[in-house]
Structure 1
């Protein structure tokens, strides 16, 4: 129960405590053409993955199942499909043979990533998503990536 409360709090802070200017920055028009980004996954004990990933927005299915759209149109963040951080993680996992998992929150129209390569979030830490060194102000299925962006999923303690 405590883990759920903390996870819900982290999710609420991630999605709701967003300044209006940060929300406006995610409102891009664009195409969903595949792009290349650099993806890093940093766990509590070191680097879990680093590499170039070819990605575009698409439906994703985490390890425990449940397929949902993850193409930047989630919650109306972008008017048309675009590449996103969670889609990039999903592509890297599929191509490189590792898993990720998360809980889908219909009210946010997005996932809370809870596990990458078997490293699970808990009551003391969560997976933070950043692009070009800055934590994203919306969910990982809502944020528009650009070619050559640096995407990081980083184990972060509370």
Structure 2
């Protein structure tokens, strides 16, 4: 009897461990109408989410039976980012889709023609943000007016550079990998191969970000110049 009881306890612990949401770290970036609202690595687990317009609902990937067990999602990452970044967001809740529709992040609210889009690793999510599970180091992007933009910029390059020595960075469309010509990184402009050649005249830390017409601005790169 005692052995059976102990076995039952061990089995229960193993079951809870197997199905518990361990959480994960993802890179959350929120590109607003005129500026970047938030950009940082965030640890997230699936959890109940509360908005003013939508109320409180689970947001753990089990929404609409999309996954059998709970786990971290795109919208749970947004909710955790809002706590770390000290900004607010809002969204209505659809009982049909069992998910939130994001209507505002920070001060940027949707309009009749401009809406918030969600991309994971530079690709639009195919389901709602509470159904979309995310994995370690995924790039989770929330972009204002996303559906009216053609490109989602991605900036790549070294994290260190030498003062007064030319350093090359590259701008691409994150969704397709296509090099982006004519993108601006500060006062510098990318060439036909998407390359941006920058000469830093001051030492210290520099933050770079690419922009282009009809595009969502890029991720930031911090460069230590010595």
> Normalising by structure 2, what TM-score?
0.55
Whose helix proportion is higher, 1 or 2?
Answer: 1
> Normalising by structure 1, what TM-score?
0.78
Q: Hey, what does 2:29 align to over in structure 1?
A: 40
Q: How far 1:43 moved relative to its partner? A: 1.1
Q: How far 1:95 moved relative to its partner? A: 2.1
Which residue of 85, 101, 105 maps to 1:96? 85
RMSD (Å), alpha carbons: 1.6
Q: Deviations over 1:44-102 (max 9, x none)?
A: 21211100111010001124461100000000100000100000000010122110100
Which residue of 111, 128, 143 maps to 1:154? 143
After TM superposition, which residue ranges in structure 1, 4 or more long, deviate above 3 angstroms? none
- Residues 34, 54 of structure 1: 8 Å contact kept: yes
Whose strand proportion is higher, 1 or 2?
Answer: 2
- Taking the TM superposition and a 5 Å limit, the aligned residue runs for 1:21-32 are 32=21
- Residues 118, 125 of structure 2: 8 Å contact kept: yes
- Taking the TM superposition and a 5 Å limit, the aligned residue runs for 1:104-143 are 104-143=93-132
Relative contact order, CA 8 A, sep 6+: which one is greater? 1
In the alignment, structure 1 segments of 5+ residues that lack a partner are 1-28
Q: Secondary structure at the match of 1:90?
A: helix
Structure 1 residues 31 and 143: alpha-carbon distance in aligned structure 2, compared to 1, 3 A threshold: farther
In the alignment, structure 2 segments of 5+ residues that lack a partner are 1-17, 149-226
